[in-house]
């Protein structure tokens, strides 16, 4: 069913007010007595050339705590398209939260049995290459200093940064 011009204007005000698609869908049913699917509402918003304002995502790097899925998580994932001329760049850099540990994720993992790999630089300058194996276990393949053990706060920072980097890549 098609909405009238006045109804479309009201939908526009809801979008401008910051309502998400789910809320708009409920309001259409309540105010207009029109049943529309989530995708129909999405298409309506697109047809009106409107952009839904996404709520800022809460970054949780503590994997031991369950989190509620956000509306953005229930929508179709957006994949980053890489230009052909940048394919030879092997590493994505991620910002460092506390300035102590820097974690980078390889764009392409060529290590057999690994689902992800990359590099780390600890606060004392020691570098290493890490992997996550096909069972989800992190490990190191190289460390620049023999028999090196990072400080406990560096180890925790590494796991936080690694978790955030891996989550941002969709793992």
In angstroms, how far apart are the furthest CA atoms of the chain? 72
pLDDT, one tens digit per residue, over 99-134 is 578 888 888 877 888 888 999 999 888 999 989 888
CA distances from 15 to 10, 26, 31, 50 (A): 9, 13, 15, 7
Contact in structure between 27 and 12 (CB atoms under 8 Å): no
Tokens 């031991």 identify what position?
64
| pTM of the entire predicted model | 0.42
Round the CA-based radius of gyration of the chain to a whole number and report it. Answer: 22
pLDDT, one tens digit per residue, over 129-151 is 989 888 888 888 889 988 888 88
pLDDT of amino acid 1: 59
How many other CB atoms sit within 10 Å of the CB of residue 77?
7
* Distance in angstroms (rounded) separating the CA atoms of residues 77 and 62: 22
pLDDT, one tens digit per residue, over 44-81 is 888 888 888 765 554 544 555 555 555 544 454 443 44
Residues 6+ apart with CB under 8 A from 145: 126
pLDDT of amino acid 108: 82
Residues 6+ apart with CB under 8 A from 159: 138
Q: Coil, strand or helix: which one is 9?
A: helix
pLDDT, one tens digit per residue, over 7-39 is 889 988 888 888 888 898 999 888 888 888 888
């Amino acid at each position: 069913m098609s909405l009238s011009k006045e109804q479309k204007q009201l939908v526009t005000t809801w979008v401008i007010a910051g309502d998400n698609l789910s809320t708009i869908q409920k309001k259409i049913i309540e105010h207009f007595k029109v049943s529309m699917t989530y995708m129909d509402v999405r298409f309506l918003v697109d047809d009106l050339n409107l952009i839904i304002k996404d709520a800022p995502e809460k970054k949780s790097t503590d994997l031991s705590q369950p989190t509620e899925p956000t509306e953005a998580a229930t929508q179709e994932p957006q994949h980053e398209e890489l230009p052909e001329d940048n394919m030879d760049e092997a590493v994505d850099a991620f910002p460092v939260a506390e300035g102590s540990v820097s974690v980078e994720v390889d764009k392409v993992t060529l290590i057999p049995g690994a689902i992800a790999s990359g590099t780390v630089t600890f606060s004392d300058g020691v570098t290493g290459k890490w992997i996550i194996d096909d069972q989800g276990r992190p490990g190191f393949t190289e460390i620049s200093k023999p028999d090196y053990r990072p400080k406990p706060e560096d180890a925790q920072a590494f796991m936080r940064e690694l978790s955030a980097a891996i989550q941002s890549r969709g793992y």
